[in-house]
Amino acid sequence: MNRGHCRGLLVLTLFIAFAVCTEFTFELPDNEKQCFYEDLESGVKFDIDFQVIAGGNYDVDCFVTDPMNNVLYQERKKQYDSFSHTTTSKGVYKVCFSNEFSTFSHKIVYLDFRAGEERPLLPDMNRATALTQMESACLSIHEILKVVTDSQTWYRLREAQDRIRAEDLHERVSYWSIGETVFLFAVSIGQVLMLRSFFTEKRINVNTST
């Protein structure tokens, strides 16, 4: 592999690492609300993707407000959703998640926040001339890796959600099995004591009659 290819792949790798740094997962306790703030310039497009991966009915309230506290997005009891908006004023934009309607179950929420336009893959990508074969190959690989990254994120969320459900089901089955075992022991001990009482009463009756 020549030096030009190595440089292109290095830039591509750095771009991918930069693009996924806005993803995170947080815990939202019951009867609480959690907000995130981002200072944005005017004319900047931002995208929000969220999904509840654990807790209760897998739903949460979400709303987004601008610097003047105008509501840009508001949905209640959503399991997952996406929202895009282009800012019209400079200031702090707020993204809030509320679990105040839940009285006993906390939630685990995945959030992906992206703001601004994607940087060019290569420094001279915006030039008017046609792309070279290497640049076209790098751009094609970049688009494919974006699809792969999105697919990996989706599968990772599904795996986490299914694993939490399986662990919860396993815990319930374990408690149920322990309860059944205790109940069987109690019934067995009760039957033994009842049989012993029958023989004890018969023995007492025999001794009395003699």
| Average pLDDT along the chain | 77
d(CA 84, CA 82): 7
**Got the DSSP string for 93-153?**
EEEEEE-TT-SS--EEEEEEEEESPPPPSSTTTT-SSPPPHHHHHHHHHHHHHHHHHHHHH
Average the pLDDT over 16-38 and give the result.
75
- Residue 120 has what pLDDT? 60
Query: 130 vs 85, which has greater pLDDT?
Result: 85
Domains and CATH numbers, the chain: 3-130 (2.60.120.380)
207: pLDDT confidence band, cut at 50, 70 and 90? low
Average the pLDDT over 40-68 and give the result.
89
Neighbours of 209 (CB within 10 A): 6
d(CA 187, CA 177): 15
Query: Which of 10-19, 70-79, 96-105, 114-123 has the least mean pLDDT?
Result: 10-19
